[in-house]
Amino acid sequence: MQDDTSLIPLEAQPDFSYWATMPHWTARDTAALFLRLDPSFVNSVSVGFGGDELQSWQKKLRPTYNKLQKRLERLREVGEFGKPSVATGDGYMRLPPVVPSAWVNWAANNDVVCPKELLDALEGSRLQPEEIPNELPQRREDTLLRIIGATLEHIQNATRLSQAKIIEDVVDLHGHKPGISKSTLENVFADAKQRLDKW
């Protein structure tokens, strides 16, 4: 009999080799990876993993994901993996970063199943944080650009603003930040639309 994770479509499956090189995972990342889900897919607002209109496999996995994610988040808050969370001046809680090996060790000691492919990827990855490539793997870059394209399309449909006006407003608000300029946004939006149109 197939388990729920065997029904996950290809586009929602994670690139374990990529995630094994990340210096830290959030609780959401970890819960997704333990369930053989791509964290980028789960965390994407455009996909709506937590929404009402879900595929059957999503409906089966959502309660398990939500329960595990909340459990892991609570462990971070109380300091299971080091320092507990601390309150910031703006009223938010700052959670300490957790290295992948800490999540995996906790899983092994608490009868939580960790995919063998993920364990193998972690075992094979000896990169130190300063050695991690700056370039995003192509699959992740494609995913991010599709998300940007879908978000831009939604904003334009909802507000009737032109792309030029959206770029102008973004530059007015955030143009002082590195990497945000009119030409950069024009290029990114063009790439994002192209990637989105391919699907």
91: left (phi over 0), alpha (psi -120 to 50) or beta: left
Which amino acid is located at 127 in the chain?
L
What pLDDT, in 10s, does the model give residues 45-83?
A: 444 555 544 567 777 788 888 899 888 888 877 767 666
Contact 95, 77 (CB under 8 A): yes
The CA-based angle 73-29-145, given to 5 degrees, is 135
94: left (phi over 0), alpha (psi -120 to 50) or beta: beta
d(CA 177, CA 180): 6
Closest CA to 193 of 140, 149, 162, 151: 149
DSSP bridge pairs for 87: 93
Residue 33 has pLDDT above 90, yes or no: yes
Cβ-count burial of 146 within 10 angstroms (0-12 exposed, 13-18 middle, 19+ buried)? buried
Mean pLDDT of the chain: 77
This prediction has a pTM of: 0.55
- Reported confidence tier of residue 190, pLDDT bands at 50, 70, 90: confident
Closest CA to 65 of 82, 96, 73: 73
- Residue 1's pLDDT is 32
Q: What is the mean pLDDT of residues 113-119?
A: 91
Cβ-count burial of 9 within 10 angstroms (0-12 exposed, 13-18 middle, 19+ buried)? exposed
3-state secondary structure of 12: helix
Quick one: how far is CA 7 from the chain centroid?
20
What pLDDT, in 10s, does the model give residues 138-178?
A: 667 778 888 888 888 889 889 999 999 999 988 888 877 77
